[in-house]
């Protein structure tokens, strides 16, 4: 891609890791990161082999559930930056260099005009740390035609189905893949009777919907459904009132084995366990969770990977950080191993049998050709330990069979 052009057009954007810039060098020194290699000024003055465009939007929401949690800034962005710093360590031995162009729009800003200014009809390699609506807005821009957009953040089934786009690749597991992993485990244990409790956000509702579909397909029975009491600042409920409501919604006539809760914000979801009317297990966004990353995961060299991230970022890696790290690495594989940088060639490489990426899951991962979703094992985590690792080929291979509109981007080219 035309890196020079991108740089020329984006003076207001922050160019990080012009490998590695003074800013990063200072950050690295500050955090005493030992795994990060800062390249010298002479190398930094050379044009990069590839420029990756990072897109995100500021969020006013404080994601903390407990006030003892540290205030964390830069979810996602530090994952992407960590990915580029490691790619540059590798690239140094191969004479290749990556640059990360940071575009974070404010809460109310129109993302399309910002991206238009940067791209100006030149296709790019993008890491989209965006929610679904922003992602689609960017993917549908005329200026983004021919770009490769790695969805580093969503699990949205619609983006992998009726709203799929040929330029978009997804690295985190979809709601359906997560629901499949949970369902397989629960049904395997014989816990087929479920009570569904959903939160109010789009993600909460979409995950609940995926659980309904997988339950139906696997023969699980949803005995009852209810919405969780509101947990946002506008809610006037006291904590005691929330607990009483939970007790009430879980006192059903029909017996159930498990409560499936979806509350990503967590303020109410975290209270479900131990506030149920009967002594029942909890799964979903709390209790047993189907996830792509947990800082406690230590198999397949994941321990060393998490350690390096903590050295780099001075905090634990969130799933969103992991998604961004993985998105950067997917593009890195295309550049370093595939030897391609033009978006059209990158897309062909990612869809070919030559592509795979190692992501600390014990096996090489690749994209499903129909919806460009990365196949991957899913972690089932209860508390501190990995309970199960579900194999990559057991969930989501029959997308559409569980009752949603399929995407069909065609078979992979033989590349």
The reply to whether 304 sits near other proteins by the rule CB under 8 A is yes
Q: How far apart are the first and last CA of the chain?
A: 20
Cα separation values, 172 from 71, 73, 130, 235, 363, Å? 24, 21, 13, 32, 16
DSSP E strands in 179-288: the ranges are 193-198, 221-227, 258-262, 281-284
Q: What distance separates the 2 farthest-apart alpha carbons in the chain?
A: 72
Stretch that binds other proteins, among 31-39, 116-124, 201-209, 246-254 (CB under 8 A): 31-39
The vertex-269 CA angle with 234 and 276, nearest 5°, equals 115
Show contacts with other proteins in window 318-337 (CB under 8 A).
336-337
Residue from 100, 144, 172, 392 touching other proteins (CB under 8 A): that is 392
The reply to whether 401 sits near other proteins by the rule CB under 8 A is no
Dihedral pair phi/psi, residue 212, rounded to 5° = -60, -45
Shortest Cβ 314–other proteins spacing (Å): 16
Q: Which is nearer to other proteins, 278 or 307 (CB)?
A: 307
Shortest Cβ 149–other proteins spacing (Å): 24
DSSP E strands in 19-74: the ranges are 50-57
The reply to whether 391 sits near other proteins by the rule CB under 8 A is yes
How many binding residues for other proteins (CB under 8 A)? 25
Other Cβ atoms closer than 10 A to 255: 10
**Parallel, antiparallel, or unpaired: how do β-strands 125-129 and 148-151 relate?**
parallel
Shortest Cβ 349–other proteins spacing (Å): 15
Q: Per-residue x/- mask for other proteins, residues 155 to 194, rule CB under 8 A?
A: ----------------------------------------
Show contacts with other proteins in window 91-120 (CB under 8 A).
93-94
Residue from 81, 97, 192, 308 touching other proteins (CB under 8 A): that is 308
**H helices present in 239-342, as ranges:** 239-249, 269-272, 302-313, 319-336
Q: CA quadruple 110, 114, 117, 118: dihedral positive or negative? A: negative
The reply to whether 305 sits near other proteins by the rule CB under 8 A is yes
Angle between helices 202-218 and 175-188 (to 10 degrees): 40
Stretch that binds other proteins, among 43-51, 83-91, 104-112, 209-217 (CB under 8 A): 83-91
DSSP bridge pairs for 127 = 54, 150
Stretch that binds other proteins, among 11-19, 151-159, 162-170, 299-307 (CB under 8 A): 299-307
Stretch that binds other proteins, among 70-78, 251-259, 318-326, 391-399 (CB under 8 A): 391-399
Residue from 43, 65, 89, 112 touching other proteins (CB under 8 A): that is 89
| Cα-to-chain-centroid distance, residue 197 | 23
The reply to whether 356 sits near other proteins by the rule CB under 8 A is yes
For residues 121-148, b (16+ Cβ closer than 10 Å) or e, as one string?
A: ebbbbbbbbbbbebbbebbebebbebbb
Residue from 112, 243, 363, 382 touching other proteins (CB under 8 A): that is 363
**H helices present in 32-163, as ranges:** 41-44, 77-94, 111-119, 132-139
Shortest Cβ 336–other proteins spacing (Å): 7
Structure-token match 């592509």, residue found: 355
Other Cβ atoms closer than 10 A to 164: 21
Residue from 358, 385, 387, 401 touching other proteins (CB under 8 A): that is 358
Residue from 72, 90, 146, 217 touching other proteins (CB under 8 A): that is 90
Q: Which is nearer to other proteins, 175 or 305 (CB)?
A: 305
Stretch that binds other proteins, among 48-56, 203-211, 226-234, 385-393 (CB under 8 A): 385-393
Q: Which is nearer to other proteins, 60 or 95 (CB)?
A: 95
Stretch that binds other proteins, among 30-38, 43-51, 69-77, 215-223 (CB under 8 A): 30-38
Structure-token match 């082999």, residue found: 49
Q: Which is nearer to other proteins, 118 or 392 (CB)?
A: 392
Where does this chain bind other proteins (CB under 8 A)? 34-35, 37, 86, 89-90, 93-94, 301, 304-305, 307-308, 311, 336-337, 356-358, 362-364, 391-393
């Amino acid at each position: 891609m035309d890196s020079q052009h991108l740089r020329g057009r984006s003076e207001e954007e922050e160019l990080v890791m012009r490998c590695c810039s003074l800013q990063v060098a200072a950050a690295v020194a500050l955090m005493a990161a030992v795994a990060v290699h800062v390249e010298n000024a002479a190398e930094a003055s050379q044009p990069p082999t590839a420029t990756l465009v990072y897109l995100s939007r500021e969020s006013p929401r404080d994601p903390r559930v407990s006030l003892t949690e540290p205030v964390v800034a830069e979810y996602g962005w530090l994952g992407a930056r960590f990915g580029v710093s490691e790619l540059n360590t590798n690239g140094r031995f191969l004479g290749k260099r990556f640059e990360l162009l940071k575009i974070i729009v404010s809460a109310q800003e129109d993302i399309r005009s910002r991206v238009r200014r940067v791209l100006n009809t030149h296709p790019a390699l993008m890491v989209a740390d965006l929610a679904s609506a922003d992602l689609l807005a960017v993917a549908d821009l005329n200026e983004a035609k021919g770009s490769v957009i790695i969805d580093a953040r969503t699990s949205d089934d619609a983006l992998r189905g009726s709203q799929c786009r040929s330029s978009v690749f997804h690295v985190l597991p979809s709601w359906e893949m997560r629901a499949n992993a949970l369902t397989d485990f629960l049904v395997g244990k014989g816990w087929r009777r479920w009570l569904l409790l959903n939160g109010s956000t789009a993600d909460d509702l979409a995950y609940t919907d995926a659980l309904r579909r997988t339950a139906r397909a696997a023969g699980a029975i949803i005995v009852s459904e209810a919405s969780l009491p509101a947990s946002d600042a506008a809610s006037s409920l006291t904590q005691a009132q929330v607990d009483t409501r939970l007790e009430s919604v879980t006192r059903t006539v029909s017996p159930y084995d498990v409560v499936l809760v979806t509350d990503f914000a967590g303020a109410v979801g975290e209270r479900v366990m131990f506030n149920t009317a009967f002594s029942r297990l909890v799964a979903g966004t709390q209790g047993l969770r189907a996830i792509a990353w947990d800082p406690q995961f230590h198999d397949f060299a994941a321990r060393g990977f998490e350690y390096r991230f903590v050295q780099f970022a001075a905090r634990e890696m969130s799933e969103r950080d992991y998604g961004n790290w993985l998105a950067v690495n997917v593009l890195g594989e295309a550049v370093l191993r595939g030897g391609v940088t033009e978006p059209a060639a990158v897309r062909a490489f990612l869809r070919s049998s030559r592509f795979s990426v190692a992501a600390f899951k014990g096996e090489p991962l690749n994209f499903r050709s129909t919806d460009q979703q990365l196949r991957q094992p899913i972690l089932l985590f209860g508390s501190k330990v990995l309970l199960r690792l579900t194999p990559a080929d057991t969930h989501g291979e029959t997308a559409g069979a569980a009752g949603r509109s399929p995407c069909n981007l065609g078979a992979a080219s033989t590349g």
